[in-house]
Amino acid sequence: QFTPGSTFYATRDPRRERSPEGTMDKEAKLQWKEPRQGRSKALVDAIFEATLRILPKVGNDNFNTTKVAEAAGVSVGSLYQYFPSKDALVAAVIELTVKSCSANVEKKIDEIGRDQKSIEESVSTMIDFMMEFFLAERERVAEIFKRAPELGRMETILKLRRHGVERLANEFERFEPGLTRDEYLQIAHVCANSVMGVIQTALYEEPPSYSREILGAELKIMLTAYLNERIRVARAAACTTTPIE
């Protein structure tokens, strides 16, 4: 699911989150050098792939660049040419995973727009996708995102979530026209963050209380009921405020 490739290099945003103090020094240590030639891109891809294999096995506490270099079949010196520290490598992998998720979300929402016939079907399909994407490889995803706050990458994650809310709002408006834009955004916000809240708990709960299939089924029941009632209330409110000519 989290495959390194040319898309990551092409879409990488050089801007970074800012903290109140020590921003430049801390952020400079997290910068990594983008590969520019085919051979160097292949080397960096090998490093990313090795990181994605090793990180969930050993955890962040035991993770180091030596293990990654050995698994990638490169020297530690070659790794340090692109990543000045293990923190820089983990931060880059967080960005890679977020961009991979973003691309897959875009693709899935486009599919929903073509194939689904109702707002309930759209939400059900999106829940299945998100549960599969984040929880099918639970240990890997949990380790990748565990250090996001510490490494200043939460804004990258939240930006993805806000974009997903915008896209969902567009789909809701297409299926159920007649509400205000703010209402569509509110509904999409509640749906997206309800799903992600359950996913975040499932990622870090040891052991998980429920399977992703059970959690997905419960989310569908909850959000279907919420959507039906929320749209009914919005339409009723619109009727009471519409002047009679």
Question: What would the DSSP string read from start to end of 156-174?
Answer: HHHHHHHHHHHHHHHHHHH
Q: What is the DSSP letter of 152?
A: T
Read off the pLDDT band of 51 (50, 70, 90): very high
Peptide bond into 207 cis (omega under 30): yes
pLDDT confidence tier of residue 235, bands split at 50, 70 and 90:
confident
Q: Is residue 195 very low, low, confident or very high in pLDDT (cuts 50, 70, 90)?
A: very high
- Residue 222: band (very low, low, confident or very high) from pLDDT cuts 50, 70, 90: very high
Q: What is the pLDDT of residues 84-96, one digit of tens each?
A: 999 999 999 999 8
Average pLDDT over residues 138-147: 90
What pLDDT, on a 0 to 100 scale, did the predictor assign at position 162?
93
pLDDT of 104-116, one tens digit each?
A: 888 888 888 787 7
For residues 129 and 108, is the Cβ–Cβ distance under 8 A? Answer: yes
How far apart (Å, rounded) are the C-alpha atoms in residues 153 and 184? 28
CA distances from 31 to 1, 79, 109, 154 (A): 24, 13, 32, 16
- With beta carbons less than 8 A apart as the criterion, state whether 98 and 157 touch: yes
Q: Is the pTM of this model over 0.85?
A: no
The mean per-residue pLDDT over the stretch 7-15 comes to: 41
Whole-number Å distance between alpha carbons of 131 and 228: 22
Model pLDDT, residue 4: 45
What is the tens place of the pLDDT at every residue in 115-136? 777 888 888 999 999 999 999 9
| 8 A C-beta contact, residue 222 and residue 126 | no
